[in-house]
Chain A
Amino acid sequence: MTIDDVQRILHGTYVCGEDQKDREIHSACGSDMMSDVLAFVKDQAVLLTGLCNPQVIRTAEMIDIYCIVFIRGKKPTGEMIEMAKERDIALLCTDHRMFNACGMLYDNGLRGGKPY
C-alpha cells in the first residue's frame, strides 16, 4: 500500500507531503501515546493519532515514520507542518475516528505487526 492508498481509503486530505504519495507503507500503528509508538513500531509504518502536538512529528522522526494521519478531524499547527516538511513526512487528515480508520486500513490488507 502507498501513502496515496491510505489517503484514498480514509477519504483523507493532504496537509503536506503530497510529493511523497508513492512511498510504500508496510504496517500501521494507531495510538495517542507516543511512548507506545516508540516501543512497538517498526519502520515503514503509517501512524494514526488523535494527538496533535510537535512531539508527534518528533516521534515519527525518531523511528523513520514518513506518514502521519490525524484522525477525528484534528488539524496540525503551522509549526508542526513546517517540522514535517523539513523531515519529508507526509501529513494527512481524516474525519474518521480511530477505530474506524484503523479498520478501514486493515480491511484493505494493512497489518499492525505481531503481538507484543
Chain B
Amino acid sequence: MSNSLRIQYLISDEDFTRAGEASGDVKAKLKMMGVNPEVIRKVSIAMYEGEINMVIHANGGVIDVIITEKDITMILKDKGPGIKDLDLAMQAGYSTASENVRALGFGAGMGLPNMKKYSDEMNIETEIGVGTTVTMKVFF
C-alpha cells in the first residue's frame, strides 16, 4: 500500500445538479493517469450511481477513493435511513425512489444492480436509522 493515493469527497444533497461531480473528478484523474478505458468506465458508472443514491436517498455522505497499483476502491458512507430489504434493493427494477426523483431520470431500480455489475467486488453494510456503507473494488 506504499504507492496508494487516497481522495476524499464530501457529497452534499443540497443541489441535485451537482450530484456526479465527484465521479466526474475521479474519471478525469484516472484518465490523466493513463488508466485502461474499460477500468475507467467501470469505476465511473459504479461511483456515479452510488453518488446519486447518496444524494437521493441518504442526505449525502462521504466517498473515499483509494487507488493502488492493483485496484481502485470506493467507499461510500452515509448516515441515511439504511436499506430495509437488501435482497429486494438488489433486484433490477425495484426502487423506493419518489416520483420527484423519477422525474429527474433516476429511481428506475437500476442503481444498486448497476453498481454490482460494474464493480468487481461489492460489499454493503447497512443499518436502519444509522446509515449505509458501500465498498466497491475494481481491479486493473
Contact = CB atoms under 8 A, between A and B. Distances in A.
A39 B117 contact: yes
A53 B45 contact: no
A108 B114 CA distance: 31
Contacts of B24: 58, 61-62
Contacts of A33: 102, 105-106, 108, 110
Contact of A34 (B37, B44, B105, B113): B105
Interface residues of B, number: 26
Interface of A: 32-36, 38-39, 43, 49, 51, 53-56, 58-59, 61-64, 79
A108 to B, nearest CB: 27
B138 to A, nearest CB: 14
Contact of B49 (A38, A51, A53): A38
Given A58-B20, A61-B27, A63-B41, A36 B48 contact: no
Nearest to A62: B44
B16 A62 contact: no
Contacts of A32: 105
Contact of B110 (A36, A54, A61, A63): A36
16 contacts: A35-B109, A35-B110, A35-B111, A38-B45, A38-B110, A49-B105, A55-B17, A55-B104, A58-B19, A58-B20, A58-B23, A61-B20, A61-B27, A62-B24, A62-B41, A63-B41
Contact of B105 (A51, A62, A64, A79): A51
Nearest to A32: B105
A48 to B, nearest CB: 13
Interface string B25-61: 0010000000001000100110011001000000000
